């Protein structure tokens, strides 16, 4: 084999290594099976005691920031450190997934009032904005296998027209999971989100005059 041919083969091999390092598809194959996908379920708004919307509502897409604005499932290791669960992801980015769940839950609580998810909904009496402040597992500071989960939503309700009222509240709920595995954390987050949603619906009912 000539020097030139050996050099060509060597460069080709280096190119393949570079491609494997840069390509997400090749990296996924090298790192093992695809991650498991999880979803937060829609709450049953119709089953919430004292929850009934009395006005037409436009539900804006929720917002968040930092580590939560992701398809990955967040876990807090300390006050200053966040990470993600291995081998597991949400089915879509957290704000979009929670937005669908909130809208579906409110539909059950609004049999007569209008509910909209389009900004052009001129018939809406109020706009609901949600900001996701916490939606994560939290490791046990004592080092045990159990973890806590925390959901905190900041809600703002804005009336239509000049001089309309603007009110806001914070919905917070916590729960526990027996371990930091996704199979334990996701159901705990799901149940905790349902508790926060029930508080949100009761607050909306008190503000919309049902």
Encode pLDDT of 89-99 as tens digits: 999 999 999 99
Residues 47 and 78 in one domain: yes
pLDDT at residue 109 is higher than 90: no
What are 118-161's pLDDT values in tens digits? 765 667 889 999 999 999 999 976 667 889 999 999 999 999 87
Distance CA 118, CA 45 (A): 20
Percent of the chain exceeding pLDDT 90 equals 58
Residues 168 and 86 in one domain: yes
Residues 123 and 199 in one domain: yes
Residues 6 and 80 in one domain: no
Residue 12 has a pLDDT of 42
Residues 9 and 92 in one domain: no
Span of 76-85, 156-165, 200-209 with lowest mean pLDDT = 156-165
Q: How many CB atoms lie within 10 A of CB 206?
A: 14
Residues 10 and 85 in one domain: no
What does the block give as tokens for 55? Answer: 């006005």
Which domain covers residue 45, as residue numbers?
A: 40-208
- Give the CATH number of the domain where residue 202 resides: 3.40.50.10610
Residues 94 and 172 in one domain: yes
Please report which helix (H) or strand (E) contains residue 76, including its range. strand 72-78
Q: Checking DSSP bridges between strand 72-78 and strand 81-90, what pairing results, if any?
A: antiparallel
Residues 93 and 17 in one domain: no
What does the block give as tokens for 151? Answer: 């959901």
Residues 118 and 62 in one domain: yes
Segment 102-125 mean pLDDT: 79
Residue 13 has a pLDDT of 46
Distance CA 35, CA 38 (A): 10
Residue 119 has a pLDDT of 65
């Amino acid at each position: 084999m000539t020097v030139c041919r050996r050099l060509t083969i060597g460069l080709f091999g280096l190119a393949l290594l570079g491609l494997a390092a840069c390509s997400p598809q090749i990296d996924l194959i090298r790192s093992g099976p695809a991650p498991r996908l999880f979803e937060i379920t829609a709450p049953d708004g119709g089953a919430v005691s004292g929850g009934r919307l009395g006005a037409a509502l436009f539900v804006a897409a929720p917002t968040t920031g930092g580590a939560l604005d992701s398809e990955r499932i967040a876990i807090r290791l300390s006050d200053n450190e966040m990470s993600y669960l291995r081998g597991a992801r949400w089915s879509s980015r957290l704000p979009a997934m929670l937005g669908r769940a909130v809208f579906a839950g409110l539909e059950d609580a609004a049999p007569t009032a209008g509910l909209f998810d389009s900004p052009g909904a001129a018939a809406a009496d109020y706009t609901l904005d949600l900001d996701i402040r916490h939606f994560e597992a939290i490791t046990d500071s004592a080092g045990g296998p159990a973890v806590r989960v925390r959901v905190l939503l900041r809600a703002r309700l804005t009336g239509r027209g000049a001089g309309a009222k603007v009110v806001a509240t914070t919905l917070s709920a916590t729960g526990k999971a027996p371990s930091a595995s996704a199979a334990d954390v996701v159901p705990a987050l799901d149940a905790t989100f349902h508790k926060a949603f029930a508080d949100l619906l009761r607050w909306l009912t008190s503000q919309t005059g049902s």
